[in-house]
Amino acid sequence: SRQRKWGVPIPVFYKKDSGEAIVTEETLKHVIDLVREKGSDAWFELPVEDLLPESLKAEASNLTKGEDTMDVWFDSGSSWAGVVSAREELNYPADLYLEGSDQHRGWFQSSLLTSVAVNGCAPYKTVLTHGFVLDEKGAKMSKSLGNIIDPKNIIEGGNNQKKDPAYGADTLRLWVSSVDYSSDVLIGPSILKQTSEIYRKLRGTIRFVLGNLHDFNPESDAVSYDSLPLFDKYILHQLVTVQEEVDSNFESFQFSKVFQTIQRFNVVDLSQFYLDVVKDRLYIRGSDSFERKSCQTVLKHMLDTLLPMIAPILPHLAEDAWQNLPFQTSSKSVFLHGLAEAKSEWKMSGADLQELEILRSVRSEVNRVAEIARKDKLIGSSLEAKVVIRTDSQELHTILSKYSESANGVDELRYLFICSQVDLKEGPAGEGVTEIPEVGTFRATIERAGGLRCARCWNYSDTVGTFGDHKELCDRCHPVVQGKKAVANVAA
């Protein structure tokens, strides 16, 4: 831009003999029409006679065109008049002015001054500023340093795909959402690799959920909220809490908090907790059982909420998943569906929520000691374990006892801990206790589970070997297999 004259020209002609300025409504209109047709370079490229209206063409030989350009800050600062106010599809004041942090004394300021001077109000409702993109070491990108990162190479990959793999547009957008744009941000190969892993983790979760809904019909199979097990209600509580946080952060342009909230929910609440626990129900229970259908109902609610939630950041992933939903939807595209409405009735409170938070704390400790038992070769899989919990807290013992068995076949400690058996003991916990504030202390230990291993679910049970027709099955799996046999016989 410094190699030539540039900017919006000031369309004034000057008499060669006297220097008198010639600018009238007629000359302005003629130049405006030319610029509208040919662009602002028309002033610099066309001869004087072409720039003059018909009534002044005879005087062209005595006129010269001015070479001054409009002050760039006045030029950009009046864009609210030349763009926003001039176009019917736009509104004045504008909803948002977005630019870099260097524009506080530039475009934002000049726009404010010109708009207040003419109309007595700011030309924008909100101003959002951002920092600048630096390389991975925090250096400014420049051709001389050779550290410029081309967004196209991030999306499509470079010439050497091993060195510069194609991450796709969604990974680039995910990186944008992950950084705090209020200051300068860093980007480079290792940062993109980490972002890609986060993207793949989320994509993997969505694939898992989609895969386990292949035989689910919302019209006939859905379980009402009131009938859902508490473990299912708890994850819906977490889901609606995340949805409210995400909606609030989108409204305030806090995209990094949107990213953090979704990532935390995916890793901590889904991958490491709920989806880990429900695999037993999805894979082992009968295909038409309450235990499985209730879980599928929750998985369907997750997609209904999660896909519109991630669509503004990960449009390709969201639309890809939406197009592969195994059931009919009211919208052909996730972008026509709109954001799901947060369901306040899914919010839990009181004793149930407190109990489930306590159970998650206990589960974290059980997972820790189980990992130690694995390293010590006491067990291999967690299903080889019997978890023994000892506590002298009457409150904690009462809560744990409540979940030692369940009428719905879901809300049980052995499924929560992904083990074969759980043994609760009252009394002093001894050394190595874990404290739950305002509840009490407990100690979790691991022993080998009793009984034989079921060939189907791999749980250890004393009931394995008690069924004459299927000695290798436990009391959970035997009726499922028998049911499948009965269906097969009817079909035959």
- Per-residue pLDDT tens digits for 465-480: 999 999 999 999 999 9
Distance in angstroms (rounded) separating the CA atoms of residues 105 and 102: 7
H/E segment holding residue 261: helix 255-264
**Integer-rounded Cα radius of gyration of the chain:** 34
Task: Output the pLDDT for position 492.
Answer: 46
pLDDT classification of 430: cutoffs 50, 70, 90: confident
DSSP assignment of 40-98 equals TTHHHHS-HHHHS-GGGGGGGGGEEE---B--HHHHHHTHIIIIITT-TTS-SSEEEEE
Tabulate helix, strand, coil % of the chain (nearest 5).
50, 10, 35
Enter the tokens of residue 268.
């901590």
Interval 317-369: pLDDT, tens: 999 999 999 999 989 999 999 888 889 999 998 889 999 999 999 999 999 99
Task: Output the pLDDT for position 490.
Answer: 47
Interval 123-138: pLDDT, tens: 999 999 999 999 988 9
Nearest residue to 237 via CA among 174, 301, 313: 301
Residue 356 class from Cβ within 10 Å (0-12 exposed, 13-18 middle, 19+ buried)? Answer: buried
Interval 394-408: pLDDT, tens: 999 999 999 999 999
Task: Output the pLDDT for position 345.
Answer: 94
Phi, psi of 40 (to 5 degrees): -70, -20
Residue 1 has pLDDT above 50, yes or no: no
Interval 262-295: pLDDT, tens: 999 999 999 999 999 999 999 999 999 999 999 9
Distance in angstroms (rounded) separating the CA atoms of residues 37 and 27: 16
Q: Are 228 and 343 in contact (CB under 8 A)?
A: no
Task: Output the pLDDT for position 485.
Answer: 58
Task: Output the pLDDT for position 162.
Answer: 85
112-116, 208-212, 426-430: range with lowest mean pLDDT: 426-430
Distance in angstroms (rounded) separating the CA atoms of residues 434 and 365: 8
Helix (H, G, I), strand (E, B) or coil at 325: coil
Residue 159 has pLDDT above 80, yes or no: yes
Enter the tokens of residue 68.
């001054």
Task: Output the pLDDT for position 350.
Answer: 86
Q: Which residues contact 196 (CB under 8 A, 6 or more apart)?
A: 167, 171
Task: Output the pLDDT for position 5.
Answer: 66
pLDDT classification of 61: cutoffs 50, 70, 90: very high
Task: Output the pLDDT for position 147.
Answer: 86
Task: Output the pLDDT for position 338.
Answer: 87
Residue 54 has pLDDT above 60, yes or no: yes
Interval 199-210: pLDDT, tens: 999 999 999 999
Better-scored residue on pLDDT, 339 or 165: 165
Mean pLDDT to the nearest integer, 413-432: 93
Distance in angstroms (rounded) separating the CA atoms of residues 174 and 259: 8
Task: Output the pLDDT for position 3.
Answer: 52
Q: For all residues of the chain together, what is the average pLDDT?
A: 93
Helix (H, G, I), strand (E, B) or coil at 466: coil
DSSP assignment of 255-314 equals HHHHHHHHHHIIIIIIIIIIHHHHHHHHHHS-TT-HHHHHHHHHHHHHHHHHHHHHTTT-
Residue 487 has pLDDT above 80, yes or no: no
Q: Are 322 and 338 in contact (CB under 8 A)?
A: no
79-88, 267-276, 459-468: range with lowest mean pLDDT: 79-88
